[in-house]
Structure 1
Amino acid sequence: MNRTDRLTAMIIYLQGRSRVTVKDLSERYGISSRTVYRDLRALQEAGVPIGSEEGKGYFIVKGYHLPPVMFDKDEVAALLAGERLMEKWSETKLSQSYSAALDKIRSVLHSREKEYLDTLDQHIKTFSYADERQVETDYRIFVFLQDAVVNKEVVAIEYYSPYKDQYTQRDVEPLGLLIRGNYWYLAGWCRLRTDYRMFRVDRIENYKKTGKKLADAPEHTLQEFSEQSLREEQDLEEVVVQFDEEMIRYLGDQKHYRGWVSEEKVDGGVQMTFLTSSIEYFARWLLMWGNGVTVHQPKELKERVCELSKELYQHHR
């Protein structure tokens, strides 16, 4: 991106947000903080009314607007691809909202871009894997949680844990909504467990406001949640297994959901390295591959697979 395009993009980025930090701009455009300051100064000298608030960032003074923004065909194609990706989240109403927004964008496109988009629309499709679970989530929960995050309101939820087959009542400080695999999660500070937790949204049975508000500078933050999650990931245990050649075609993308890190071809198959937080779950997953997989390490995993195999043998015998 040349400097002229970057300056224009910066104005659009600033105009779409209440406050933007130098760090935000630096990371978004891949430039140094020094270059960000230089670009902001150039925009101010060109007459763009950019203000700043100490500790919060920069903003465009209310009332200033760019001329109507137009999209090129690459941006239009990206928006259409985004609409297809959003279709799987129809239960949260995100899909409907995205489609409505795209319809408004279509209405202001030039005829050439409209024709391009109409043609492309007929040639972009999404397909789900045959074994992909379609999770239904009451869209009202999603909207409720969105509002709670924005308004910094503590929520009371009834949460179902399938592993313990029980419901628990939790007061949660909502920090954000996250996508992991095929599911939406609420990231928050659980006051019952006094720790950061992730709650799968489709497992929230009941929910309500508590009437309690978080401070403007809350004690618990999404940034701290992310840092803790990163630390936990660094504590994952390394697993090395070898899949026989005939098993590889059946494995497909499953490895990416089990903490796959790397792989290399070896005599008779492929040796793969994973990082896992649960030897137990990993051992149970390996059972489905029968004698088509061999455990190299750790010893604990090999022993657990042997124990589970014996249990299965005794059970089916």
Structure 2
Amino acid sequence: MNRIDRLTAIIIYLQGHHRITVDELADRYDISTRTVYRDLRALQEAGVPIGSEEGKGYFIVKGYHLPPVMFDKDEAAALLAGERLMQKWKETKLSESYLSALDKIRAVLHSREKKYLDTLDQHIKTFTHSDERQVETDYLIFVFLQDAVVRGSVISLEYYSPYKDQYTQRDVEPLGLLIRDNYWYLAAWCRLRTDYRMFRVDRIESYKKTGEQLPELPEHTLQEFSEQSLREEKDLKEVVVQFDEEMVRYLGDQKHYRGWTSEERVDGGVKMTFLTSSVEYFARWLLMWGDGVIVHQSKQLKERVRELSKELYQHHNS
């Protein structure tokens, strides 16, 4: 990106946010903080009313606006691709709002770009993976959760846990919405567990506001949640297993959901390295591959697979 394009992009970015720090701009445009300060000064000298507040960042003074921004065909095509990715949640308010925004963008395109986009629209399709289950999500839950996050509203959830096959009532402090392994999650502080938790959105049975508002500077934050998640990732256990050629064909994308990090081809198959937070769950997953898998590491995983195999044999032999 050349400097003129970057300066325009910075104005648009500032105009779309309440406050932006120098570090955020440096990360977004992959430039040094020194370059950010130089760009901001250049914009101020050019007459763009950029203000700053110590400790909070920079902002565009209220009342200033750029002329209407036009999208080029590449930007519009990227948004169209995003619309295809949104089809997994096509029955939600989130997807409806995205499609409405895309229609407005189409309306301001030049005729040449519209024709380009219409042609591309006919040649981008999505196919559901054969292993993917249909996820039914409440139509308005994204609107509710987004509003709760922004307003700092404590909310009450009835949440289903498939592992225990039970529903629990949780009062939570919402921190943010995340996508992980193709599912939406609510990151929150759970008052029942007195710890940070992630709640899969399609498992939230019912929801409501409690009427309690969090303070402007809440005790629990998304930053702290992220830091805790990183610490937990450092505690992951490394396991190494070998799948034979036939099993590798059926494994597909499942390896990515189990913490796959690397692999190498060996005689008779593929040796794969995983990082897992639960040797127990990983051992149970390996059982489905029968004699098509060999455990190389760790000793704990080998022992648990042996125990589970023995229990399974005794069960079916009784």
TM-score (norm 2): 0.97
Q: Give how far 1:73 is off.
A: 1.6
Deviates more, 1:94-103 or 1:159-168: 159-168
- Is 1:310 the counterpart of 2:310? The answer is yes
Q: Which residue in 2 is equivalent to 1:269?
A: 269
- Is 1:248 the counterpart of 2:248? The answer is yes
How far apart are the structure 2 equivalents of 1:39 and 1:142? 37
Which consecutive segments of 4 or more residues in structure 1 shift more than 3 A? none
Q: Which residue in 2 is equivalent to 1:159?
A: 159
Q: Which residue in 2 is equivalent to 1:216?
A: 216
How far apart are the structure 2 equivalents of 1:207 and 1:83? 27
- Is 1:192 the counterpart of 2:192? The answer is yes
Q: Give how far 1:107 is off.
A: 0.4
Deviations 1:7-57 (A, max 9, x none): 011111111111111111000000111110100000000111111112211
Instruction: Indicate the SS of the match to 1:87.
Output: helix
Q: Which residue in 2 is equivalent to 1:19?
A: 19
Deviations 1:128-178 (A, max 9, x none): 101101111112222211111010011111222222222222211100111
Q: Give how far 1:314 is off.
A: 2.4
Q: Which residue in 1 is equivalent to 2:6?
A: 6
Q: Which residue in 2 is equivalent to 1:99?
A: 99
Q: Report if aligned partners of 2:240, 2:273 keep a CA contact under 8 Å in 1.
A: yes
State the AA in 2 paired with 1:155.
I
Instruction: Indicate the SS of the match to 2:148.
Output: helix
**Map 1:27-176 → 2, pairs under 5 A:** 27-176=27-176
How far apart are the structure 2 equivalents of 1:270 and 1:131? 22
- Is 1:239 the counterpart of 2:243? The answer is no
State the AA in 2 paired with 1:126.
T
- Any stretches of 5+ residues in structure 2 without a counterpart? none
Instruction: Indicate the SS of the match to 1:265.
Output: strand
Instruction: Indicate the SS of the match to 1:176.
Output: strand
Q: Report if aligned partners of 2:155, 2:174 keep a CA contact under 8 Å in 1.
A: yes
Deviations 1:207-263 (A, max 9, x none): 221111111111110011001001001100000001112221111111000000111
Deviates more, 1:52-61 or 1:26-35: 52-61
Q: Which residue in 1 is equivalent to 2:291?
A: 291
How far apart are the structure 2 equivalents of 1:243 and 1:33? 48
Instruction: Indicate the SS of the match to 1:66.
Output: coil
State the AA in 1 paired with 2:130.
A
State the AA in 2 paired with 1:314.
Q
Q: Report if aligned partners of 2:178, 2:185 keep a CA contact under 8 Å in 1.
A: yes
State the AA in 2 paired with 1:115.
K
How far apart are the structure 2 equivalents of 1:92 and 1:179? 15
- Kindly tell me the number of residue pairs found equivalent between the two proteins: 317
Deviations 1:283-307 (A, max 9, x none): 1111111111100111111111112
How far apart are the structure 1 equivalents of 2:298 and 2:35? 49
Q: Report if aligned partners of 2:264, 2:271 keep a CA contact under 8 Å in 1.
A: yes
How far apart are the structure 2 equivalents of 1:171 and 1:185? 16
State the AA in 2 paired with 1:174.
P
How far apart are the structure 2 equivalents of 1:24 and 1:116? 34
How far apart are the structure 1 equivalents of 2:159 and 2:255? 29
Q: Among the aligned pairs, what percent are the same residue?
A: 84
- Any stretches of 5+ residues in structure 1 without a counterpart? none
How far apart are the structure 2 equivalents of 1:122 and 1:207? 39
Cα-Cα RMSD: 1.1
Q: Report if aligned partners of 2:159, 2:203 keep a CA contact under 8 Å in 1.
A: yes
Q: Give how far 1:118 is off.
A: 0.5
How far apart are the structure 1 equivalents of 2:70 and 2:8? 12
